[in-house]
Amino acid sequence: MGKNSGPADKNPTGSPPLKIEDLHREVSEWCSEHDIWLKDIDLWRREQRLVKLILYKMERALPDQNDSLDEHTKIIRNHKQRIGTYEKKFQDLIAGDKLYPGKFDALWEEHQLQKNLHLRERERHESFRHSHLAAMSELNRLTRALEQAERQ
């Protein structure tokens, strides 16, 4: 029996027999494919470790975020109360005697102060809103990707 005369040369269907070299090449391709698959798995493991690290950081950041939101809530409530006090003072001044120039000037100064405080709180709130919406958008995107991966 020669090199090509083993069982691979016999084909009961009548089609041309495969050569040993063809079989060897095919097995080599399989081995190469296995190596590629193993590299894929190594990459996926590294990516999973990164995801675990990111999740750990996110979990650690949640209490800080809650504290920031609590502080923001407190500031808004204090600001609302300050505006309520200002409005009451404003109403009292209007209901009382005529606004002589000194009273009006004091009222105008107080109004400008409250306006500036309000604008600052608006900016702070919009910054919180922007950060929150960006985080939730990314979280929703990741959730959809995980759900899609689970279906596969």
Burial 40-59, CB ≥16 within 10 A → b, else e: eeeeeeeeeeeeeeeeeeee
Residue 1 has a pLDDT of 44
Type of residue at 76 = I
Chain mean position to CA 53: 14
E-strand spans in the chain? none
Residue 97 has a pLDDT of 66
Look-up of token digits 């609302």: 80
CA distance 47 to 50: 5
Residue 2 has a pLDDT of 46
CB 121 within 8 A of CB 75: yes
Walking along the chain (152 residues) 10 residues at a time, the average pLDDT comes out as 48 68 92 95 92 84 85 94 90 74 81 94 94 86 84 80
Note the pTM of the prediction, 2 decimals. Answer: 0.60
